[in-house]
Amino acid sequence: MSIKGRDIITIDSLSKADIEQVLSNSAKMQSLLEKGKCDLLKGKVLATLFFEPSTRTRLSFESAMHRLGGSVIGFSEASNTSVKKGETLADTIRTVDQYCDVIAMRHPVEGSAQLAADFSEAPIINGGDGAHTHPTQTLLDLYTIQKEKGKIEGLKIALTGDLKYSRTAHSLSYALSMFGADLVFTTPEELKMGKDFTSALKRDFGVNIEEKTKLEDVVSDVDVMYVTRIQRERFPAPEEYEKVKGVFKVDLELLKNAKKDLKIMHPLPRVDEIAPEVDATEHAIYFQQTYNGIPTRMALIAGVLGVEP
């Protein structure tokens, strides 16, 4: 089954075969991209509706659409739209649906992307709904791991930082379990991945999951370390954030014990969880990861519009 005409709301709505297809189309898109502009989506319009701050997700969706020869409309702040006058999300979506062929959207409320999909004829691509999921980030993360490591199955991957609120960690853990990686959730008690979610991954995929609290205890043992920002904006009270703020730091000292080919990833933005001096090491691949958002989102936008590279 192809992704043509489908909404991309959560990573678990995609089968392994769907994901493999997107990853292989992303590689084809990357080679088209590097050969120069292609016009596979000439005449098509993407709307980007961002109700929450974003740099990479929104701009890479827009860049991807431009690279495909299509055009873009949208907003990066709902306060300049009729939302300010009290318009519902359903009505905003029904309106924008008349103006475009595909919608990429980010919203602070969990479940909002699904609600949008219920009201839109055009496919909805979820660019993050609250602390819930971030499927397009996961696709570019998988693409990055595959490109850098040549495989996903059998790798030992640490997910660190804020596993409670980080939507990127939620979606990625699901997909990595599906692809047969071994996972090490490394985070203090307060930021742990939900128990039910972890149990469901073990039950559904038979995935190996270790749980640790210190980076020092995992750094020598893993192939990839996926670092996330502590999601300050999702904490119910500022004191809760203060308790865990700055609790992790990936720095050169820590990396002395790393495998030579350890790769460090981060969806970005970072605050202080990766020291800037790490950027110049062979371990750091977070800016390549950022770049990979372009071919991956080209493959996705084209895919839901039924266009293959």
Q: Which residues are catalytic?
A: 56-57, 85, 106, 134
Residue 156 near residue 210 (C-beta atoms within 8 A)? no
Closest separation between CB of residue 264 and ligand NCD, Å? 15
Distance CA 187, CA 183 (A): 13
Residue 36: burial class (beta carbons within 10 Å; 0-12, 13-18, 19+): exposed
What does the block give as tokens for 104? Answer: 């990429």
CA atoms of 281 and 301, how far apart (whole Å): 33
In the complex, the residues that contact ligand NCD under the rule CB under 6 A are 56-57, 128, 134, 137, 167-168, 229, 267-268
Among residues 131 and 181, whose Cβ is nearest to ligand NCD? 131
Tokens coding 250 = 């990936």
List CB contacts of 302: < 8 A, sequence separation 6 or more: 25, 29, 40, 41, 68, 308, 309
* Ramachandran sector of residue 206 (left: φ over 0; alpha: ψ -120 to 50; beta: rest): left
Q: b/e per residue, 254-270, with b = 16+ CB within 10 A?
A: bbeebbeebbbbbbbeb
Q: Please say which residue, 234 or 259, places its beta carbon nearer to ligand NCD.
A: 234
Min separation Cβ 128 and ligand NCD, Å = 5
Cβ-based nearer residue to ligand NCD, 73 or 268: 268
CB nearer ligand NCD, residue 128 or residue 303: 128
**Distance of closest approach, residue 41 Cβ to ligand NCD, in angstroms:** 22
Name which of 44 and 132 has its Cβ closer to ligand NCD. 132
Total length of the chain: 309
CB of 54 to ligand NCD, least distance (A): 6
Answer yes or no: are the C-beta atoms of 306 and 102 closer than 8 Å. Answer: no
Nearer of residues 134 and 263 to ligand NCD, judged by Cβ: 134
Distance separating alpha carbons of residues 240 and 232, to the nearest angstrom: 9
Rounded to the nearest whole angstrom, what is the least distance from the CB of residue 56 to ligand NCD in the complex? 4
CB of 185 to ligand NCD, least distance (A): 17
